Structure 1
Amino acid sequence: MLNRKNILLGVCGSIAAYKSALLVRLLVKAGANVKVILTADAANFITPLTLATLSKNPVYTQYFEAETGVWSNHVELGLWADYMLIAPASANTIGKMANGLCDNLLTAAYLSAKCPVLFAPAMDLDMWQHESTQENISRLQQFGNIMIEPGTGELASGLHGQGRMAEPEEIIAFLEIEIVKHLPLLNKKVMVTAGPTYEAIDPVRFIGNHSSGKMGFAIAEQLYAMGAEVILVAGPTTLTASAGITRIDVVSAEEMLQVCQANFIGSDIIVMSAAVADYTPVEVAQQKIKKKEDQFNIELKKTTDVLATLGSKKSETQLLVGFALETTDEDNYAKEKLRKKNLDLIVLNSLNDKGAGFKVDTNKISIFNKKLEKITFETKTKTEVAKDICNEILKLVKTS
């Protein structure tokens, strides 16, 4: 659940700050991208170097570094995060957060955050029980912030009671459960196709195309991040997918057809982004064809249209998304494909658009729905394009 999530970790002045080293390590091990904001008091308990080494990112301590002239942009940090986690959260910082005070980088980033905010209190028993602390916590929860309940045990003062910061493993488990609660595609089964197909001519040669699979893999990752159970049917490519994605490798159009048919009935959402060959050799030579003649002809036959085959079997509860890569009269071809193949959405790529097409890390798309309404997006990275596509899919899931 934490894989590729951006976690902004705030560490406050508390003896429990030593636990933040293990917390960062567990977050990184789970695949999260971690950035740490350390308050001035927290730096008395744990060094920025320790957390920078473990997070593999610079640690932020103040708005402006006088020695380097570097300004830490609290707005960018707040907007970067998928989740903001403050652990340990001291009584002082909790009070500032509850009252909108931002006299340090951490509380300024908190006020800029648009993501869910979780905080794990850590303080002595008397501080925890004080009316002002409890009122501040109640206020934070009213704002929508999520508290990770402190544990009970021996405290730094020698007292015994509530106030111990939750253990790092408990915080990780809590965060994962919180993520699962809000995943929009939880319990949905999705099949995504990606990459090219190779149609063999002989044991060493094939007919193929320039598809890298980057767009399909990005879509599979985004759907997985949204909670879906994802099957990725991949043509020949060197790309890798997250461990939680079920990957099935195929080579030819016929293999892709067979795998897609086998997994189609159980899928709620099907995204067909692979560049499947339209033609395949009638006969495949069993031995390498020698270069003899000045001209060489290969007889080709049509492959089975995988997208049309699935479209003809689609139920009312399934969503089917196709892709169209065109060079002329793009809109009309895309709309005709949408209609003929019984699609719910079609994503149009044009090779005439700069930054779109094969083997690049960007793309520019338009999307048509069943009402033939067109949504056009700017050139973006394929990761961002995948988010746009998945958001359009999500709209149909919510209304279906």
Structure 2
Amino acid sequence: MKNFQQDTLGQMMHNLAQKLFPICRSISGEGFRKSLKILDNALCEGGGIIRIHSIKSGSKVFDWIVPSEWNVKDSYIITPNGKKICDFKKHNLHLLGYSQAINQEISLEELQEHLYSRSDMPDAIPYYTSYYKQRWGFCLSHNERLKLKSGIYKVFIDSTHDKKGVLNYADFIIPATQKTKDEILISSYLCHPSMANNELSGPIVAVFLAKWLLEQKSRKYNYRFVLIPETIGSLVYLSKNLKTLKAHVKAGFVLSCIGDECAYSLIHTPSGVSLSDRVALHTLKNKANFKEYSFLHRGSDERQYNAPLVNLDIVGICRSKYGEFKEYHTSKDDLNFVTPKGLEGGLQACKELILNLEINEIYQSTTFGEPNLGKRGLYPTLNLENKRPLITDFLAYCDGQKDVLEIADILGVQGYELQEVLKNLLKFKLIKKC
């Protein structure tokens, strides 16, 4: 009888990445919608949890205008000797994002003005876009570009810019199991073509985090998940939901580049001391190759969520931070760079963030002096070792001022590791919630 080995959680996430990787996504268009539907089915068989919204092209959003909807069927270049290069169907990074349609024969000299490569990554296809200025172009490796010979080249791009189209964005809420309006915001973006860490890791980790949250018997917070095209999507989302977000969001995280195995990274809010900052630093600081960045190093949608008139105090969470790994925005950011182990590590870090948020409260001791823990079975009654149980040190700091995160930092443990301690102290009413 054949034995079937069940995929690990990380492999399941990587399988989803493989399914999404070939799709040409941008800030609008069919590829974005198709990807949302795949994620919806991954979250729940048959879908129906992720709510897909739209806004018309040309709509004014704060200081921005929603661009025309862009879709592309094909693009390529034919060299003077008849060879097809920059073939969109072989790799969608070959096309400059949001390129206009063209079908012409031009000289190499003219073509060079529309080619994009990186001499510092000579064997990689770079990723470039032109969302808000009309142009056309192709991206190719620098090595291939250097081989181009003089002559007449045919350039072909079959794309459309629909001024009557829409820009899509999506969200869903996993409700608390108690009565509360407090929310945790978890946001990621889905607007890049075939890049695995910079694009797919964030939404995939978010979906698997949501699946895990749905399994939890207790949730103190409502969890608002947002899947959007980067920058313009967060602006649109804020324009529709800012009043609610400002009233109810207590902490939040932008997930980006969270599927490699190289590091763990935190991009702080402008203040650096919000609940989001504190719980993220508490959770990540002891992980391998942890790197901490100020808001001066922002780059994803934390820019919009922390803008001066918004002030939601949202941090960025990455493994290797965007712009800090050499594969970033190139064809080298592929399904080999993002691994099952890397994705599962990113997911585990996010689970720990949530566990630390869920357990965090301020407690006050209810007794004068140390309580008699021994008579309650919480402390050994035979003194054989000169070692204090964790419960006594935690209780010593329950002064009604410090929260669980702060005490856990003092004790050198993760907040969620104090769950059993809290359970016992609350059971015997030795502490009370402030």
Calculate the TM-score normalised by the size of structure 1. Answer: 0.28
**Higher RCO (C-alpha 8 Å, min separation 6):** 2
* Larger of the two Rg values belongs to structure: 1
